[in-house]
Structure 1
Amino acid sequence: MWLPWIDTTTKIEHTKGFIQACLKGHAENKSLNTVILFNGEIVGVAGYNIINWSNKTAYIGYWIGEEFQGKGIMTKVAKALTEYAFSELSLDKVEIRAAVENNKSKSIPERLGFVKEGCIRQAEWLYDHYVDHSVYGMLSKDWKETS
């Protein structure tokens, strides 16, 4: 429902292309995407879709298999990515965006104490319509106070 690329990922070459793009982004120090392992099984992907070194900001993106939702896995992953951005990469801000109606995705930054900074209207074309995005941000100084 929230990931339109699933419908077009129909061949192994599509997944290989995604992996190659992730490796290229990491090699260029522009992104960092990782698989999520749960009980030895790959259950999703999470990481920094973009690292903006000029503004010291990382933009976290994530997805997880439906049968693994509601177990706290993604909250732990987003927390670890946020901590890593501040403690290891010395970034100043982490941002998470989610479709306004995607309550499961929005609950993650909310649970971690991110501040809802606003709404981007018609931020994404999803199947046959635009969806607005809620924008959540966490600053390094605020993370240190809450962690």
Structure 2
Amino acid sequence: MEMKVNEQTVLRPFYTTDAEAFYRLTMDSKAHLRAWLGWLDHIKDVSDTEKFIQSTHHDLKETGGYLKSFAIVHEGEVAGTISFNELDLTNRTGALGYWLGEKFQGKGIMQACCRCLLYYGFETIQLNRIEIKVAVNNTKSKNIPEKLGFTKEGRLREKEWLYTTFVDHDVYSLLKREWTQ
């Protein structure tokens, strides 16, 4: 399954052959991403990335065939990832998570990818509600739900442990009836 975001970008499943490139992207962006991603220090070598990619293939079994995690491929390079970190088919809700390598940021890639995944979530999976939870000081990431018409619902206090401190998250949501393609 591959989804065309625009002329330069596609969302597709991770392939085992992506492991080296995705690992390198993670390591090259580590200092930049570490402020917002608490799992980076657990990535020690390419085998950790291989395990992540293998786990994305198991998602299909638990979701009845819906892919949850996508590689963002921009101009032929793996640029990051976007996924439904939470997917509750019974209640028709999902929660998006995403990150881009540092050299790919500031080009509108993630906003376009989120728009594509909103379509997938609302039209293909038939979700009613999609959430984005983001650290309160992560202004770049918060811009995405705000630009896409999400409603800020509130704040989750001390939601995530980031290496040395707890951080609060703002919660944004978009309902299918509010979504404009």
- Report whether the alignment pairs 1:23 with 2:64: no
Structure 1: which 4+ aligned runs deviate by more than 2 Å?
none
**1:26, 1:47 → 2: CA distance?**
13
Q: Shift in Å at residue 4 of structure 1?
A: 2.4
Residue by residue over 1:40-99, the C-alpha shift from the partner in whole angstroms, topping out at 9 and shown as x without a partner, is 000101011121012100111101001111100000000110111111111100101100
Look up the match of 2:155: 119
Look up the match of 1:34: 70
TM-score, with length taken from structure 1:
0.94
Look up the match of 2:126: 90
Unmatched segments (≥5 aa) in structure 1: none
Residues 5-16 of structure 1 correspond to what in structure 2 (within 5 A)?
Answer: 5-16=39-50
> Aligned to 1:65, which of 72, 92, 101?
101
Q: Which of the pair is proportionally richer in strand? A: 1
Q: Kindly report the root-mean-square deviation, in angstroms, between the aligned alpha carbons of the 2 structures.
A: 1.2
TM-score, with length taken from structure 2:
0.77
Q: Shift in Å at residue 117 of structure 1?
A: 0.7
* Aligned AA (2:82): A
Residue by residue over 1:98-136, the C-alpha shift from the partner in whole angstroms, topping out at 9 and shown as x without a partner, is 000000110001010100011000100001100000000
Aligned residues: 145
Unmatched segments (≥5 aa) in structure 2: 1-34
**1:50, 1:21 → 2: CA distance?**
14
Q: Shift in Å at residue 6 of structure 1?
A: 1.7
* Aligned AA (1:139): L
